[in-house]
Amino acid sequence: MVSDEVVRDILRQNEAMSNLVDTLGEDDDLFEKGLDSFGSVQLMLALEERFNVEFPDSLLNRRSFSTIRIIRETVTSLTLGEAA
Partner 1 sequence: MTQDLVRRAKRVAAVAAQHADTVDREGRFPAEAVAALKAERLLGLQVPTQYGGEGAGLALIAEVCCTLGQACSASAMVFAMHHIKLASLVTHGLTSDWHCGLMAKVANEQLLIASSTTEAGIGGDLRNSLCAVEADGDLFNLGKDASVISYGAEADVILVTARRNPEAPTSDQVLVALMRDQMSLNRTSTWDTLGMRGTCSEGFRLEARGVPTVQILPKPFAEIAAQSMLASSHLLWSSVWFGIATYAVDRARSYVQGEARRRPGTVPPSALRLAEAANALQAMKATVLSGLRKFEGAQHEPDELSSIGFAVSLNNVKTTSSTMAVDIVQRALGIVGISGYRNDTPFSLGRPLRDVMSAPLMIANDRILSNTANLLLVQKGGGQLLSA
Which residues make up the interface to partner 1 (CB under 8 A)? 16, 29, 31-34, 36-38, 41, 44-45, 48, 54-57, 60-63
Q: From the CB of 27, what's the least distance to partner 1, in Å?
A: 15
Amino acid at residue number 51? F
Taking the complex as a whole, how short is the minimal distance between the CB of residue 54 and partner 1, in angstroms? 7
- CA distances (Å), 5 to each of 2, 9, 17, 32, 60, in order? 8, 6, 14, 21, 22
> Do residues 47 and 8 make contact, with C-beta atoms less than 8 angstroms apart?
no
> Please, what is the minimum distance in Å from the beta carbon of residue 45 to partner 1?
6
Q: Select 16 or 21, whichever has its Cβ closest to partner 1.
A: 16
